[in-house]
Amino acid sequence: MVHSANPIPARVENTVVPGVEDTVIPGGPKSSLDGPFMKPTTADGLVNLSPHHEDHLPGGILETDEERERRWFVGSIDQGTTSSRFLIFNGEGDPVASHQLEFENLYPKSGWHEHDPLELLRSVEECIDEAVRKFVDLGYSISDIRSIGITNQRETTVVWDSVTGEPLHNAIVWPDTRTQALVRELKSRESSDSLLDLCGLPLSTYPSSVKLLWLLRNVDSVKQAYEEGRLAFGTVDSWLIYRLNGGANAAKPVHVTDSTNASRTMFMNLRTLQYDDKLLGFFGIDRTKVQLPKIVPSSDPECFGKLASGPLAGIPIAGCLGDQSSALVGQCGFSPGQAKNTYGTGCFLLYNVGTEPVISKYGLLATVAYDFGRGRKPVYALEGSIAVAGAGVKFLMNNLGFGTQSSDITSLAESVPDNGGVVFVTAFSGLFAPYWIDDAKGTLFGITQHTTKAHIARATLEATCYQTRAILEAMEKDSNHKLESLAVDGGLSNSDLCMQTQADVCGIPVDRPRMRETTALGAAIAAGLATGVWRELDDLKEVNRNGRKVFLPQMDKAKADRLFRKWEQAVEMSRGWVREDNSDFE
C-alpha cells in the first residue's frame, strides 16, 4: 500500500494522457478533504466535519495530520533540450496539471548547439504560471503544493557574471561538438588516462569541462570575468536555481548543484562527491577565479532555496536531479540491477549498481544515480548515452520533410515489413557509448533504387534500438549480470513499433509505464522525500505501477543477431569521416 501521505482521497478517474501536452485531470477535488474551495463550512467558518470524525479529534483540531497530507502536491520543473515543462503531481505520482513550452535551439555553425539562458528561464517561469493557473482552476489550493523539484538537461554549460547575474554567453548544449580539436589535444596529455577512475567519464565533447575550457579560450567576456574573479559556472540546474531564488538581487544568492549534475562536469570526484584538485588542475581551472556551485544532496529541504517571485513565491525548491537520474528515480529503480532507458532527444540507459561506483571497462560512464542525503549512502549507476534518438525523428521531419509530427514517422515505418537493407548510423554528433567515436558522421548504408522514405524511417527507429543493445551488452560485461527486463520512457517510447523492435533486438521484455512523465516524476519524488510527502523509498512502491505495457521479444534470436552484426559493420564503416583535410565541411 502507498503511505497514507500519498493519495488524495477521491481519486479522479480521468488522468493525464501520456504524451499529450498541457493535459489536466478534469474535475477538481470532490470530497470535503480535497482542497479549501470545496469544503462545506459551518456558520462560524469551521470545516463541517461529521460527528463521528469530531469524536476522534482533540479539541480545536479540525483534521488529522494524515488528512492534511492527503492533499499535498509537489511541483516539478523539467527543463529539457527542446522544451521546458512544469507539472504538479499528487501523492500517487499522477500529474494533475501541466504546461509545456518549446524554445529555440540555436545552431550558429555546423556542430555547434546553443541555448539562450534567459529564454530557458523565461520558458520555465511561464510554464509555472500556466500550470498553477490550471491547478487553481481545478479547485486546488496553492498552499497544498508542498515543494518543487528540478530536473534538467545535463552537461549543458552556462556562464554568467556573478555581480550582475547576467549570462556572458549562450549556453553550450550537451551534444555540441565544437570542442573536438580541444578533446584531441587533452587526450594527448600523459595524465589523461587517470581521469576516468576519478570522475567516471572519458574525455569527449560531452562533459561540461571541455565546454568551459573552450569558452575561456575563445570568448573575451568570459576570459575577463574569470581573471577578475566574477565568473560563475554551472549546469542548467544551477542557473535556474540561482535565478529563481532572485539571482544577484537575492540577499544571499543561491549557487548550488546536486551530485548527479556535478558528476557530469568531470570536475567532481565520484567517491568523495566534491570537486577534485587533480581534475580541475588537468583542465587548468583555478577555483579562486571561477565560482563553482556548491555540491549538495539531490533531496534537501533547505539547500536549494525558495522561489523568489511568481505564483509559487516562498515555496521551497527541495529536489534536484539530472534528467536521466531523475527518470531512474521516476521509474522507482531503487534496487541494484534495475535499469531504465529514456528515449528523448538522445537516449540514455542507466543501470543501478548500488552504493559503490563501477568504473566501466567497456565504454560506459560511471555516474551518480541519486543521493537522497539524511544519512543515506549515494547510489551509483552505469550509463550508456546515445546522442541521437528522438533527434533522428525530428531530423526526418524538419530537414527531409518526412512528416509533421513524430507519429508520422512511426506510421511511415510501419508501412514496410523491414528496413529494405537500409542501415542509418545517426552519428550527427559522433557516436557516444559504447563506441565513443568523435570522428564519425551520420551515414546511410544500403540505399538502392528500391529504397523509400519508409525504409529510411524504419532504419532511423532501429538505429536507437541497435545502439541500446550495444550498451546493454557492455553493461552485462561490466556487471557480470544479464538484464532481465528494461523499463522505458520518453517521447520515442510512445512508438509501439520502436518498443517492439527494442524487445526483438535485445531479446528481453521492454516495460513501458502508462504515465510516461517519469523524468518529471523523479524530481517530484526527490522534493517530496525532503518535505514529507513521502517519507521513505518504500512509500513509493506503488507509484506509477498501474497500466504498464510489456513488449515481449518476437524475433528469432539468430535473425536478431544477424541484424545487429550488420549494424556493427555500419558503425565501423562510419569511422574517420571528420579529418583535418576536410574541416571546412565539419
Domains of the chain: 70-326 (3.30.420.40), 332-573 (3.30.420.40)
Q: Does the pLDDT of residue 320 top 80, yes or no?
A: yes
pLDDT at 484: 81
Average pLDDT of the residues in 49-71: 44
Tell me, what's the pLDDT at 41? Answer: 35
Taking the C-alpha atoms of residue 79 and residue 86, their distance in angstroms, rounded to an integer, is 8
pLDDT tens for residues 232-242?
A: 999 999 999 99
Q: How far apart are CA 149 and CA 77, in angstroms?
A: 6
Which pLDDT band, with edges at 50, 70 and 90, does 534 fall under? confident
Model confidence at 207: pLDDT above 60: yes
C-alpha cell at 419: 528496413
Q: H or E element: which one contains 97?
A: strand 95-102
State the CB neighbour count (10 A cutoff) for residue 188: 8
pLDDT of residue 572: 92
What average pLDDT does range 273-292 have in this prediction? 96
Model confidence band, residue 51 (pLDDT cutoffs 50, 70, 90): very low
Distance (Å, whole) CA 91 – CA 8:
7
Q: Looking at this protein, which amino acid is placed at residue 586?
A: E
The alpha-helical segments, DSSP class H, found in 25-163 are 51-55, 65-69, 117-137
The pLDDT of residue 47 is: 33
pLDDT of residue 481: 79
How does pLDDT run across 476-533, given as a tens digit for each residue?
A: 888 887 788 899 988 889 999 999 999 999 999 999 988 888 899 999 999 999 998 8
18-43: b (≥16 Cβ within 10 Å) or e: beeeebbbeebbeebbbbeebbeeee
Higher pLDDT, 67 or 385: 385
Nearest CA-CA partner of 297 in 356, 370, 367: 370
Rg of the chain over Cα atoms, rounded to whole angstroms, equals 24
Burial track 215-247 (b if 16+ CB lie within 10 A, e otherwise): bbeebeebeebbeeebbbbbbbbbbbbbbbbbb
Q: Quick: pLDDT tens for 219-269.
A: 999 999 999 999 999 999 999 999 999 999 999 999 999 999 999 999 999
Q: What is the model's pLDDT at position 92?
A: 83
Residue type, 16: V
Answer yes or no: are the C-beta atoms of 506 and 350 closer than 8 Å.
Answer: no
Instruction: Give the span between the Cα atoms of 251 and 103, in whole angstroms.
Output: 31
- Checking if the pLDDT of 54 tops 70, the result is no
- Among 47-61, 293-307, 367-381, 545-559, name the most confident range: 293-307
Torsions phi, psi for 198 (to 5 deg): -80, -45
pLDDT of 285 over the 60 cut: yes
Which amino acid would we find at residue 422?
V
Task: Return d(Cα 465, Cα 28) in angstroms, integer.
Answer: 41
CA dist., res. 34 & res. 48, Å (int): 13
pTM for this one? Answer: 0.79
Q: Evaluate if residue 13 carries a pLDDT over 70.
A: no
Neighbours of 562 (CB within 10 A): 10
Residue 31 or residue 511, greater confidence? 511
Mean pLDDT over residues 72-76, rounded?
95
Nearest Cα to Cα of residue 77 among 326, 334, 345, 341: 326
Alpha helices (H) in 245-300, listed in sequence order? 259-262, 277-282
Q: What is the rounded CA–CA span in Å between residue 387 and residue 431? A: 7
Per-residue pLDDT at 585: 43
Q: Copy the grid coordinates of residue 215.
A: 569558452
pLDDT confidence of 378, banded at 50, 70, 90?
Answer: very high
Distance of CA 215 to the CA centre of its chain: 24
Instruction: Give the 3-state secondary structure of 457-501.
Output: HHHHHHHHHHHHHHHHHHHHHHHCCCCCCEEEECHHHHCHHHHHH
Measured between alpha carbons, how far is 412 from 414 in angstroms, rounded to an integer?
Answer: 5
Query: What is the DSSP-derived secondary structure letter of residue 576?
Result: T
Cell output for 146: 508542498
CA–CA separation, 442 vs 427, rounded Å? 4
Report whether pLDDT(546) > 80: no
Q: Map residue 239 onto helix, strand or coil.
A: helix
Q: How much of the chain, in percent, has pLDDT values that exceed 70?
A: 86
Lowest mean pLDDT of 120-124, 158-162, 494-498, name the range.
494-498
Statement: residue 118 has pLDDT above 90: yes
Mean pLDDT of 462-481: 90
Residue 542 pLDDT: 67
Per-residue confidence at 71, pLDDT binned at 50, 70, 90?
low
Task: Give the type of residue at 518.
Answer: T
pLDDT averaged over the chain? 85
d(Cα 223, Cα 215) in Å, to the nearest integer? 8
Per-residue pLDDT band for 340 (boundaries 50, 70, 90) equals: very high
Nearest to 526 by CA among 147, 196, 116, 107: 147
